Amino acid sequence: MNKNKSGGFSVLARLMKFTKPYTAYLIFTVIGAVVSALATLYAPVLIGEAIDCIISAGNVDFQKIFPIVIKLAAVVFAGAVFQWFMGYCTNILTQNTVRDLRISAFNKLQSVPLKYIDSTPHGEIISRVVADIDIISDGLLQGFQQLFTGVVTIIGTLCFMLSINPAISLVVILITPLSLIVASTIARLCSKKFKEQAKLRGEVTALAEEYIGNQKVVKAFSQEENAEQRFEALNQKLYKVGVRAQFYSALTNPSTRFVNGLVYAGVGIFGALNALTPGGITVGQLSCFLSYANQYTKPFNEISGVIAELQSAFASARRVFALIDSSDEVSDSADKALTDIKGNVELKDVDFSYTPDKELIKGLNLSVSSGQHIAIVGPTGCGKTTVINLLMRFYDTDSGVIKVDGAPIKEVTRNSLRSGYGMVLQETWIFEGTVRENIAYGKPDATDEEIIAAAKAAHCHSFIRRLKKGYDTVISETSGLSQGQKQLLCIARVMITMPPMLILDEATSSIDTRTELKIQNAFSRMTGGKTSFIVAHRLSTIKEADCILVMNAGRIVEIGNHRSLLEKGGFYAELYNSQFKQT
């Protein structure tokens, strides 16, 4: 975002757009602020009138003072009720606004390209969607209440003071700019520090998420002390920036209070001199004026005090809007959908790299006929998984074309393309829900019979039956299932959809050898007549593949079946023999 777009007023204006559906609550908030402020301002007038009813010691006009006291009680009660009403409406307005903002941010994550997710620390993204929006909520709640009541109080107080004595009011008006100058100067100092604080807070969250998710590795290599040192160093930076931010924001209140003291002193001196002048203001009016001097300056204190909250909220809002403004995944160029997929896949002159300065895949050509089983092997980093990303269109090619059944995949909808593939990855994903819901994730309307049949085919039916509630057991990533059990559930999830094409990326890597043999048999039944792409490191698992692509440095260096590649004695034979050395 450029500077214009990230300015405080622009950020506030954009936040206000999210309040548009709740305009009624905004109006009620303003009404509550106006009525409560006017009630608060009218009270000193009544108090002044009551003071003027006290003529001298032992000489009080009770006949006049009692109605004033009753009226004062009614005004104070009305002010309290509308103050509560304003707070109630502000809470609803704020919570609805931040709820919509959080939904907008989360929905954005569903439309950004995978490159954004892959290149941004996950803790940083979580910080924006959760922590930053909570800070916005606190800032809005404080800001709305203080700004509405503050503005009404300032305008109302000026009007009341001018109606009593314009000359003394002039003293207040002349000193006011000093308070504004002090507050704005401190606000500028705060803004820079709160931006830096928000950025560091995201980095701390990202680091914590990284270490918490990999704590076993940290402990296995006895790197606890190193982890503590890294966290402490970053946390210390956040501490220093936070202290400076809070120090500058803490200057606001005492600075404005000093200016307010000048206002009060000026009103007291000029008011007292005016009261001593024949025909000047009464003692009751002077009391009223002094009360107004306090009430007039109080909103400046409150608004200045909330500047820290607002600056922090604006800093967080910028980060959230930066996420919302991220480029979407390139939209489908046409509404054409793949139907009745046969599974003929062609890659022609495909070039791709994740970063422009580091070439990965160059001039990749491949033709796969329907029903063929294609194994992709090669050393780490050769581009095996990248080919899968391109087939699924998680990433678009830099040049060249990929076709399915003769249709370039850039000319069909992503949903129709991806629904044609069943995908089992090395990395498992189990969401919090029942076993039944996890298996039926790709086919929510699946019957119990279909779910059980898929579980049996994936050889996970037996361990599911041993769970406390069977298929109705609620599971999650941390529910105690082994990595192999999670993998079996992921395999069942694909088996239930029975897509025309399959991608197996080290799908049995977390499964014991005995179960792997059973799964291989299940895969053989499932892949019968279907185009399959199998990424494998264990070359023993792809002996029966129709065609094996041997990749190295982003290129296909050999192609053939298991026997012909071994007989050739090339790169594949080297890889294979390194796993199965002859003695």
Tell me: the pLDDT tens digits for 526-579?
A: 667 788 888 877 777 788 788 888 888 777 888 888 888 888 888 888 888 887
Average pLDDT over residues 402-416: 89
pLDDT, mean of residues 229-251: 84
Dmax over CA atoms of the chain, in Å, equals 122
Q: 53 and 60 in contact (C-beta within 8 Å)? A: yes
- pLDDT bin (cut points 50, 70, 90) of residue 452 is very high
**pLDDT given for residue 580 in this prediction:** 63
Highest-confidence segment of 155-159, 294-298, 299-303, 461-465: 461-465
pLDDT greater at residue 204 or residue 145: 204
- Cβ-based neighbour number of residue 498 at 10 Å: 14
**Mean pLDDT value of segment 297-302:** 68
Quick one: pLDDT at residue 583? Answer: 38
CA dihedral (510, 515, 520, 526) positive or negative: negative
Cβ density class 377-401: b for 16+ within 10 Å, e for less: bbeeebbbbbbbbbbbbbbebeebe
Our separate counts of H helices and E strands in the chain read: 20, 14
Query: What confidence category does residue 123 fall into, taking pLDDT thresholds of 50, 70 and 90?
Result: confident
User: What is the per-residue pLDDT for 58?
Assistant: 62
402's enclosing H/E stretch is strand 399-404
pLDDT at 503: 86
Of 396, 445, 392, 440, give the one whose Cα is nearest residue 419: 392
The yes-or-no verdict on residue 57 having pLDDT over 70 is: no
| Long-range contacts from 168-174, C-beta under 8 angstroms, 24+ separation | 168/267, 168/270, 168/271, 168/274, 168/281, 168/289, 171/263, 171/266, 171/267, 171/270, 172/263, 172/266, 172/267, 172/293, 172/296
For residues 417 and 338, give the distance between their C-alpha atoms in angstroms, rounded to a whole number: 6
Q: What is the pLDDT of residue 471?
A: 93
Residues 507 and 176: their CA atoms lie apart, in Å, by: 71
What size, in residues, is the chain? 583
- The pLDDT value recorded for residue 174 is 78
334 contacts 417 by C-beta, under 8 angstroms: no
Of the options 1.20.1560.10, 3.40.1440.10, 3.10.129.10, 3.40.50.720, the CATH number for the domain spanning 3-324: 1.20.1560.10
Cβ–Cβ < 8 Å for 98, 133: yes
| pLDDT, tens only, 347-367 | 898 888 888 777 788 888 888
For residue 313, with 0-12 CB atoms within 10 Å meaning exposed, 13-18 middle and 19 or more buried, which class applies?
Answer: buried
Most trustworthy range by pLDDT among 28-32, 50-54, 258-262, 479-483:
28-32
pLDDT of 78 over the 80 cut: yes
Radius of gyration over alpha carbons of the chain, in Å? 35
The CA distance from 506 to 492, in Å, is: 15
Torsion of CA 325, 327, 329, 334, to 10 degrees: 100
Give the pLDDT score at 449.
92
Cα–chain-centroid distance for residue 412? 31
Segment (H or E) for 77 = helix 62-111
CATH class as words, domain 372-383+418-579: alpha beta
* Of 346, 358, 261, 354, residue with least CA distance to 300: 261
Distance of CA 454 to the CA centre of its chain: 36
Position 6 pLDDT exceeds 70: no
CA 139/CA 324 separation, integer angstroms: 19
pLDDT of residue 3: 42
> Which residues is 355 bridged to in the sheet?
358
Predicted confidence (pLDDT) at residue 142 exceeds the cutoff of 70: no
| Rounded (to 5) percent helix, strand, coil in the chain | 65, 10, 25
| % of the chain at pLDDT higher than 70 | 88
Q: Reply yes or no on whether the pLDDT at 436 is more than 90.
A: yes
Instruction: Please check the confidence at residue 475 and state whether its pLDDT lies above 50.
Output: yes
How many of the other CB atoms lie within 10 Å of CB of 345? Answer: 22
Task: Give residue 422's pLDDT.
Answer: 84
Assign 401 to helix, strand or coil. strand
- Please check the confidence at residue 81 and state whether its pLDDT lies above 90: yes
> According to the model, what pLDDT value does residue 401 have?
93
On whether the CB atoms of residues 267 and 297 are closer than 8 A, the answer is no
Evaluate whether 3-324 and 372-383+418-579 have a shared fold: no
Percent of the chain whose predicted confidence (pLDDT) is above 90:
7
User: Contact, 338 vs 420, CB < 8 A?
Assistant: yes
Q: How confident is the model at residue 5 (pLDDT cuts 50, 70, 90)?
A: very low
Average pLDDT, stretch 72-77?
90
What is the C-alpha to C-alpha distance for residues 534 and 426, in angstroms, rounded to an integer? 11
pLDDT, position 1 = 39
Both tokens assigned to 267: 């009103």
For the beta carbon of residue 25, count every other beta carbon within 10 angstroms. Answer: 19
The DSSP letter of residue 358 is B
Displacement of CA 373 from its chain's centroid (Å)? 41
Per-residue model confidence (pLDDT) at position 470: 92
250 vs 32, higher pLDDT: 32
Q: How far apart are CA 524 and CA 183, in angstroms?
A: 73
| Per-domain residue ranges of the chain | 3-324, 372-383+418-579
* 277 φ, ψ (degrees, to nearest 5): -80, 135
Contacts by residues 154-157 (CB-CB < 8 Å, ≥ 24 positions apart): 154/296, 154/299, 154/300, 156/37, 156/38, 156/41, 157/41, 157/292, 157/295, 157/296
**What integer best gives the mean pLDDT of the chain?**
81
Reference 572, options 582, 559, 583; nearest CA is: 559
582 vs 52, residue with greater confidence: 52
Which of helix, strand or coil describes residue 363?
strand
Residue 470 zone, left/alpha/beta (φ > 0; ψ -120 to 50; rest) = left
How far, in Å, CA of 139 to CA of 135, rounded? 6
Structure tokens at 480: 């105690």
Query: pLDDT value at position 2?
Result: 42
Query: Is pLDDT larger for residue 545 or for residue 516?
Result: 545
For residue 135, what pLDDT band results from cuts at 50, 70 and 90?
confident
**Interatomic CA distance for residues 115 and 298, integer angstroms:** 51
